Amino acid sequence: MMRKALMGILMMCAGMAQADEVVIAALGDSLTQGYGLPQADGFVPQLQNWLDGQGAEARLINAGVSGDTTAGGLARVGWTLEPEVDAMIVTLGGNDLLRGLDPTQARNNIEGILKAAQAADVDVLLIGMQAPGNFGAEYKAEFDKIYPELAEAYGALYLESFFVGLVEEGAQIDPVALRDWLQADGIHPNAKGVTRIVEGVGPRVLDLIDAVKLGD
């Protein structure tokens, strides 16, 4: 009887611990997915380790798909927002830029993602992207303002850039200057680069966890 009672208490405590855990889906492209890296060295596993080291009660789900555009993210956000998901990190737009897609389409897609999260009562950290200058000043201005404007409109937390741990605020990605932190393609971070990125993104994810807990 004593053993059964003890087991019951332990199971109840385990259930309470899981209830306190914040489940975060990381919706993104190859940067989120961990392209070109062993699984343990990717963004989501490294961020999970960083959060564990901070004592955060959170569990990350890797919802990154290599090559995904904002349209792809919108198409799969419904099944990404499972009932267990409390929050979402959205990092999309890089492949829209590589293809020179219309900023208006990107805006509409990201807004659709934010609307879906809002309907599911899921808090969001929206990570921005900055267009290169080769598409022209007008294109860059239209694209760059998507993220801060939508974050404000939908009450999402905002971080200017995924590469915040590698470059100063407002600076463009320079593959030559960052060659020690990037893979040979000059686009995707290597394991050391991901570590630096996590150090930059991590504090904002802690803010996201706090936002979820304050809303409970």
The domain ranges of the chain are: 21-215
Q: With beta carbons less than 8 A apart as the criterion, state whether 105 and 70 touch.
A: yes
For 128-150, write each residue's pLDDT tens digit: 999 988 899 999 999 999 999 99
As a whole number of angstroms, the distance between CA 37 and CA 27 comes to 18
Of 16 and 117, which is predicted with more confidence? 117
Reading the block at residue 50, the tokens are 């960083």
pLDDT tens digits, residue range 57-71? Answer: 999 999 999 999 999
Instruction: Write out the catalytic residue numbers.
Output: 30, 185, 188
* The pLDDT of residue 20: 84
Tokens of 82: 């499972």
- Asked if 150 and 156 touch (Cβ cutoff 8 Å), the reply is yes
- pLDDT value at residue 167: 78
User: Is residue 152 classed exposed, middle or buried when 0-12, 13-18 and 19+ CB atoms within 10 A define those classes?
Assistant: exposed
Q: How confident is the model at residue 116 (pLDDT cuts 50, 70, 90)?
A: very high
Order of strands, edge to edge, in the sheet holding 87-91? Answer: 58-64, 22-28, 87-91, 123-127, 157-159
Please tell us whether the domain made up of 21-215 is placed in CATH 3.30.70.1060.
no
Distance from C-alpha of 60 to C-alpha of 77, rounded to nearest angstrom: 16
